[in-house]
Structure 1
Amino acid sequence: MITSDPIGDWTWEITPGTGDIRPARAVEIAGAVWNVLNRHELAIHIGKTGFSVRSVGDMRDVRVNANGLPFEEEPLRSGTALSSVVAQAESLEGDFLISVRVQCPGFWREPGAKYRAEKLFALQVDIWKGSLIVVTLETYSDAWLTMDTREREQAAVHAENAPRLAAALEEVSALLGCAPTPGDPNRHATPTETGFEDLRIEGPAYDDSWGTFDVPARARRLRSLLPPSEDEYPEVTEYPVRYFTIQRDGRTLGFIWASAADNAAGYEPRTAAGDDAFEAGAGWMLRLRDAHSRGFTAPEALDWVAQLPPQQEIGSIAEGAPQEAPSLDALEELSGRY
């Protein structure tokens, strides 16, 4: 499953012996770690980057803040958006927190297949007051675990992916000159220096942690993109559902659905599609609200929405007729896994 919050994280702290560490160094380190991940297809170009400079004395004093920049193969090459922002940071004087955060698309594998997630990892490099470097790596996939986040053993998936993660962590440690500090145990798993503890031994901290935490978190994120409204269908049902696949440029962004037996309807974002899944989903939810205001039942709304003219920014319906899932949980599973 692809999660909204990290499955686990690792941190490396580096204190160089001499010299002031300039802002460009944060990007150089991020690029070097990215290259390690890239060798194992855990990060592939092009990622999304955020870059910020904050005063250590007052974190509200933001001198530079840029988000959504492309993280290219040579991020500091002259003419790139990131190089221009870094040049601005290089001109500043004072004690700052320099932060580079990179969203890393990458591949997780199953026997005979591999799947892309737009945020398989997130990489952050912080420079504190020009003297301390902190590198943090987070993962948003359970492919490295012996049991997935719905409590099912996955020996074959673990065998395909865990060695890739272990090799990457070892290479990053060699690059940075120190071993990582694994993050604390969380609701999903317990990180170690080489990956994660075996969930089959102690068991997970929560039953179905993905369904318990990620499904509500996705719903909250989607709702945060919408204005308040009373024109809404219930978004929970115990009945089978009919649904359409939403695609844009050949990539699945999510699923719009309606209950087959009550008046529930909604949209399930495909987590692996990243931010695009939620941004498109807001558009489809507005269409459902329009249907509700017209007095359509949920099944009627699904058919009505399918007949509306396509809009490039929110994608289009891929099928000529709706598909069926035995439950909303089954559709949520589909949207979170692939």
Structure 2
Amino acid sequence: MITSEAIGDWNWEVTPNADGIRPVRAAETAVAVWNVLAGNGLAIPVGKTSVSVRSVGDSRDVRVRADGLSLEPDPLSAETALSRAVAEADSLEGDFVFDVRIECPGYWLERGVKHRAEKLFVIRVEAWKKSLLVVTLETYTDAWLTMDTRDREQSELYTENAPRLAAALEGISSLLGIAPTPGDPNRHATPTETGFEDPRIEGPAYDDSWGTFEVPTRSGLLRSGIPASEDEYQEITDHPVRYFTVQRDGQTVGFLWASAGDEAAGYEPRTAAGDRAFEAGSEWLLRLRTAHSCGLNALAALTWAAQNPPRPEIDLIVEKAPQEAPSLDFLEDLSGRY
């Protein structure tokens, strides 16, 4: 399953020499960690980077901020967006925290088939001038676990993927000269120095943590970008659902659905598609609100919305007629797996 919140994380704290740590070294470290992931088949040469510089004493005092920078093939060569942001940060004098973050698309394997997630890992490097360099690696898939976050055993999947993660963690530790500190146990999994603990031994922290926590989190993310409203359909149903597959620019971003038995309708983001799944979903939810305000029942709203996409120039409904799923849970599961 692919999540919008991290399955687990690892941290490395590097003590600098007497000269301290300049932003350029932090950025070089982030790129070097990315190269370790790429060398183990866990990152591909695209991605998004953000940079910020904030005052140590006041986190609201942000001196440099650059979001959504493309991770170019040689990201720190002259005149790239990242190198310009780093140069601006490097020119500052004072006691600041430099923060660089890379969202890493990559592939996880299932029976030899590659499946792409737009945010397989996130690398974050913070440089506290003359005091500390903190490297954090987060992962957003349960492909490294013996049981997935819906409590299903996945031994073959684990065998295909876990060694790649272990090799990457070892490579990063070799690069930094220090072993990782695994992040705290969370509601999904327990990180270790080489990957994750086996949930078959102690049992998972929560039953169906993906369904219990991830589904509400995704719903919150979808609605965070649109105004609150009572003019909408129910969010959940116990009935079978009918749905359309939604694509943008040729990529499946989610599923527009309506209940076959009551007045529930909504949109399930395909988490592997990353931020664009949620951006598209917010717009489709607004389209459903329009249908609701016109008095359409849920199934009629599904058909109407499919015929009137929010962005006709880039939105595509794949099917000519809606497909049927036995439950909303089935569709949620589909949207989180691939």
Q: Report which stretch shifted further, 19-28 or 158-167.
A: 19-28
Q: Find the counterpart in structure 2 of residue 336 from structure 1.
A: 336
Kindly, what percent of the aligned residue pairs are identical? 70
Counterpart CA distance in 2 for 1:135 and 1:232 is: 43
Counterpart CA distance in 2 for 1:165 and 1:133 is: 22
Alpha-carbon deviations, 1:73-108, whole Å to 9, x = none? 211111211111111111100111110011111111
Counterpart CA distance in 1 for 2:126 and 2:323 is: 47
For the 8 Å contact 2:283–2:310, the answer to whether it is kept is no
Cα 1:270–1:313 change in 2 (3 A) is: farther
Counterpart CA distance in 1 for 2:16 and 2:186 is: 31
Q: Find the counterpart in structure 2 of residue 260 from structure 1.
A: 260
Deviation at 1:326, TM superposition (A): 0.3
Counterpart CA distance in 2 for 1:185 and 1:228 is: 34
Q: Find the counterpart in structure 2 of residue 212 from structure 1.
A: 212
Q: Report which stretch shifted further, 100-109 or 65-74.
A: 65-74
For the 8 Å contact 1:107–1:114, the answer to whether it is kept is yes
For the 8 Å contact 1:27–1:75, the answer to whether it is kept is no
Counterpart CA distance in 1 for 2:32 and 2:163 is: 20
Equivalence map 1:80-99=2 (5 Å): 80-99=80-99
Alpha-carbon deviations, 1:227-278, whole Å to 9, x = none? 1222200010000000000011221000000001111100000111110001
Stretches of structure 1 that go unaligned for 5 or more consecutive residues are: none
Structure 2 residue identity aligned to 1:218: R
- Answering whether residue 244 of structure 2 is matched by residue 244 of structure 1, we say yes
Secondary structure class of the residue paired with 1:88: helix
Q: Find the counterpart in structure 1 of residue 106 from structure 2.
A: 106
Q: Report which stretch shifted further, 251-260 or 224-233.
A: 224-233
Q: Find the counterpart in structure 2 of residue 164 from structure 1.
A: 164
Q: Find the counterpart in structure 1 of residue 223 from structure 2.
A: 223
- Answering whether residue 295 of structure 2 is matched by residue 306 of structure 1, we say no
Deviation at 1:314, TM superposition (A): 6.1
Q: Find the counterpart in structure 1 of residue 294 from structure 2.
A: 294
- Answering whether residue 98 of structure 2 is matched by residue 117 of structure 1, we say no
How many residues align? The count is 338
Counterpart CA distance in 1 for 2:179 and 2:122 is: 19
- Answering whether residue 280 of structure 2 is matched by residue 280 of structure 1, we say yes
For the 8 Å contact 1:310–1:316, the answer to whether it is kept is no
Q: Find the counterpart in structure 1 of residue 144 from structure 2.
A: 144
Q: Find the counterpart in structure 1 of residue 61 from structure 2.
A: 61
Q: Find the counterpart in structure 1 of residue 4 from structure 2.
A: 4
Secondary structure class of the residue paired with 2:41: coil
Q: Find the counterpart in structure 1 of residue 133 from structure 2.
A: 133
Structure 2 residue identity aligned to 1:256: L
Structure 2 residue identity aligned to 1:175: L
How large is the RMSD of aligned CA atoms in angstroms? 1.2
Q: Find the counterpart in structure 1 of residue 324 from structure 2.
A: 324
Structure 1 residue identity aligned to 2:215: V
For the 8 Å contact 2:249–2:314, the answer to whether it is kept is no
Deviation at 1:16, TM superposition (A): 2.5
Deviation at 1:131, TM superposition (A): 3.0
- Answering whether residue 15 of structure 2 is matched by residue 15 of structure 1, we say yes
Cα 1:154–1:65 change in 2 (3 A) is: same
For the 8 Å contact 1:49–1:103, the answer to whether it is kept is yes
Counterpart CA distance in 1 for 2:163 and 2:47 is: 23
Secondary structure class of the residue paired with 2:61: strand
Deviation at 1:130, TM superposition (A): 3.4
- Answering whether residue 155 of structure 2 is matched by residue 155 of structure 1, we say yes
Deviation at 1:17, TM superposition (A): 2.7
Structure 1 residue identity aligned to 2:24: A
For the 8 Å contact 1:248–1:312, the answer to whether it is kept is no
Cα 1:309–1:62 change in 2 (3 A) is: closer
Q: Report which stretch shifted further, 125-134 or 260-269.
A: 125-134
Cα 1:313–1:61 change in 2 (3 A) is: farther
Structure 1 residue identity aligned to 2:168: A
TM score, norm. by length of structure 1? 0.98
Counterpart CA distance in 1 for 2:289 and 2:16 is: 56
Counterpart CA distance in 2 for 1:313 and 1:278 is: 18
Deviation at 1:156, TM superposition (A): 0.4
For the 8 Å contact 1:279–1:314, the answer to whether it is kept is no
Structure 2 residue identity aligned to 1:209: S
Q: Find the counterpart in structure 2 of residue 72 from structure 1.
A: 72
Counterpart CA distance in 2 for 1:62 and 1:234 is: 41
Counterpart CA distance in 1 for 2:124 and 2:104 is: 11
Deviation at 1:224, TM superposition (A): 0.9
Cα 1:309–1:131 change in 2 (3 A) is: closer
Stretches of structure 2 that go unaligned for 5 or more consecutive residues are: none
